[in-house]
Structure 1
């Protein structure tokens, strides 16, 4: 395992061990294994590890083509995955549209505050007015019972079919950038045109999340498919690390969501 660990971060070792156990289970039982929702960085790790095991394959699905959070299905060669194998339930939030507005942050905070693990639901989507999200089928009844208010707004969840999926607004732009390092503070500073000191302050103040978890280390080096969220600014995803320029700077391709 040490040879595997060296390609990833130390804090990712627990997840790597988990993925290895899934692979062994599929090999031993010769039947598919469905994970909870994974973020893009976790999906990347699963793909890298499964890629080395010829008899086990993997596919991902999060409800729609451009989904960020997806469930992984690890399966033996004979198996052909179908959409229903990912066991997803789509919900739409019914709320008094004329009198209030919902936001991604409010919905996310309410779901987690209701005791629902982040791994049990996928993307939260909006077309500007309607709001929908995916959950794992096995917790859909629990989610439906728990979510009756968002803030001080009464809401109701209604199950929807895939045919009712809204077209999410996607304001991501793909950009090329050249940075002196892959540190979080350096990337934030470059993308949003703020000073390194200001970027550090945002991180230390708890206004930055790395892969949906609070992170307070300005010197942390980002890797492929990491997503950082900066309160009040937007989100950045590392899409590709293209190597170094002649001036010894990193060339990167990033997805940027500006508020």
Structure 2
């Protein structure tokens, strides 16, 4: 095992992370050895953060991450020996439906997965009025165009488009200004979704809570400013601002709860 590979794998906390970093190392080495651009499939937010930390410290091959638009959560990493001409191997499909019908992200994703497509082949699904933009790996673009005929029994019309055509909806959120006894995850979660600390702790211990896309099962985990908290079946929060300490020793915070 090379020193560079060993240094990368040191960032892994478990077997899944180790497997991911091994794949990334092999792809990067393939790009260098064959002097050609190579890319991954889509990585989720946690995988992307881990990859960027490890690659920025240990990888000698230039890399760049992109997901079809600037705010993308799921992204592909492209490796280029020359540091230019990155090829992400993605395409964007505009899916249109009757404007009177409202479909959820789960509806769109479920219909795509029912076609036998693996999750890592699909990037973000961006809702719009009357449909959605689907970001996917280019090698399955034509397959989706030929086989996705309806979503939740609603007929869809598909059209390939460029990334500059994507119109992202403005994020809607409720701003919550509160004071908390500490920046522990159970405290922030309790303030953000109006649960007791004991109920918040139970949610966390059940494995339903992620911080920056990493599952956290410790209620005492400290949340940092601008970190995203996701709760399965409930929604998503951001610890937007840590303001000041009150006279009673509590911490004033601003939390965004996305709608």
**What secondary structure is seen at the aligned counterpart in 2 of 1:106?**
helix
Gaps of 5+ in 2: 243-249
Residue 245 of structure 1 is matched in structure 2 by none
Residue 44 of structure 1 is matched in structure 2 by 49
Give, in whole Å, the separation in 1 of the partners of 2:180 and 2:95: 41
Give, in whole Å, the separation in 1 of the partners of 2:251 and 2:79: 34
The TM-score, its normalising length taken from structure 1, stands at 0.74
The TM-score, its normalising length taken from structure 2, stands at 0.74
Match status 1:258 vs 2:249: no
Give, in whole Å, the separation in 1 of the partners of 2:180 and 2:13: 23
Residue 245 of structure 2 is matched in structure 1 by none
Residue 118 of structure 2 is matched in structure 1 by 117
Give, in whole Å, the separation in 1 of the partners of 2:27 and 2:176: 36
Residue 166 of structure 1 is matched in structure 2 by 167
Residue 244 of structure 1 is matched in structure 2 by none
Residue 66 (structure 1) shift: 1.3
* Residues 17 and 178 (structure 1), Cα distance of their counterparts in 2 relative to 1, 3 Å cut: farther
Match status 1:24 vs 2:26: no
**Residue deviations 1:66-109, cap 9 Å, x none?**
11111111111x24125xx22222112221222x2112222122
Matches within 5 A, 1:138-153: 138-153=139-154
* Residues 187 and 147 (structure 1), Cα distance of their counterparts in 2 relative to 1, 3 Å cut: farther
Match status 1:81 vs 2:80: no
Give, in whole Å, the separation in 2 of the partners of 1:30 and 1:252: 50
Give, in whole Å, the separation in 2 of the partners of 1:250 and 1:26: 49
**What secondary structure is seen at the aligned counterpart in 1 of 2:21?**
helix
Residue 135 of structure 1 is matched in structure 2 by 136
Residue 61 (structure 1) shift: 1.2
Residue 180 (structure 1) shift: 4.4
Residue 95 of structure 2 is matched in structure 1 by 93
Residue 56 of structure 1 is matched in structure 2 by 61
**What secondary structure is seen at the aligned counterpart in 2 of 1:36?**
coil
